[in-house]
Amino acid sequence: MTDQPLGRLRLGVNIDHVATVRNARGGAYPDPVRAAKLAEAAGADGITAHLREDRRHITDPDIERLMEALTLPLNFEMAATDEMQAIALRHKPHAVCIVPERREERTTEGGLEVAREENRLAHFIAPLAEAGCRVSIFIAADKRQIEAAARIGAPVIELHTGAYCDAHSEGRFAERDDELRRLADMSAYATSLGLEVHAGHGLTYDTVKPIAAFPEVMELNIGHFLIGEAIFSGLDSAIRRMRALMDEARQDAFGSGAA
Ligand SMILES: CC(=O)[C@@H](O)[C@H](O)COP(=O)(O)O
Ligand SMILES: NCC(=O)COP(=O)(O)O
């Protein structure tokens, strides 16, 4: 049990891969903004969108339209580049999440190497914070990276859950359990340093509950799996089911009323 009051676990829905499907034909549908509005109605607490340098999915007009259309907070994922900083300062989204990015990657591989470039990142995030954006840093569950994130003044970290999820889906259960322990330990450690803890990448119905049961985690950002499920059961249903699993995990771990 935790002696900390348990905050509500927020669900951020990442709509990147609605744009992936749209861009497959270069047209206007499916519209990521329509998906975001559906997610709002289905009970999402926020919308996450990753404007990549290569615009492989979310585009600049998508971000403009999301800023106009959303009532939910937008979590703008971005690489630590001057181009993205300028775009973020123009839009001033509720939140920015600084993620590592390589053009050749299929998806985000690993976390941001904060410890390697603390000085640059400290100066990079300062204007974003001054503009009123909640800054989070997408990192591996690693003590050095967590300590570096705290030193550069980031109030929030988002722990990369990809290694845990991949181990589960590939049947490497001993590794999965090791990753889960590491995530649990680092969630507690980051909280002890005063950081707010989020988590995401690769989470599914099968992997979400152990992460949702971490008392320190305040937000989960989930996208690819939900968009895939939406093909079969609809986006509303997929989001509601994920929300229910998150609430179930909190209630199982901390008693009723903990969701
Ligand atoms: C940082 C992270 O894990 C995701 O939010 C990111 O958006 C993944 O990149 P793709 O959406 O391009 O797969
Ligand atoms: N930061 C993680 C995120 O926004 C969604 O990641 P995924 O569920 O699309 O893998």
- The per-residue pLDDT for 255 is 84
Model confidence pLDDT, tens digit, residues 215-252: 999 999 999 999 999 999 999 999 999 999 999 999 99
- Burial track 68-98 (b if 16+ CB lie within 10 A, e otherwise): ebbebbbbbbbbbeeebbebbeebebbbbbb
25 annotated ligand binder: yes
118 neighbors 148 (Cβ within 8 angstroms): yes
Rounded to two decimals, the pTM is 0.96
57 annotated ligand binder: yes
Q: Is 94 a catalytic residue?
A: no
Model confidence pLDDT, tens digit, residues 147-198: 999 999 999 999 999 999 999 999 999 999 999 999 999 999 999 999 999 9
Atom of ligand 1 nearest to the CA of 200: 3
From the candidates 50, 160, 168, 198, give the one annotated as an active-site residue. 50
Which ipTM did the prediction report? 0.97
201 neighbors 237 (Cβ within 8 angstroms): no
Domains of the chain, start order? 10-252 (3.20.20.70)
Atom of ligand 2 nearest to the CA of 50: 4
Distance of alpha carbon 27 from alpha carbon 137, whole angstroms: 33
From the candidates 40, 77, 101, 216, give the one annotated as an active-site residue. 77
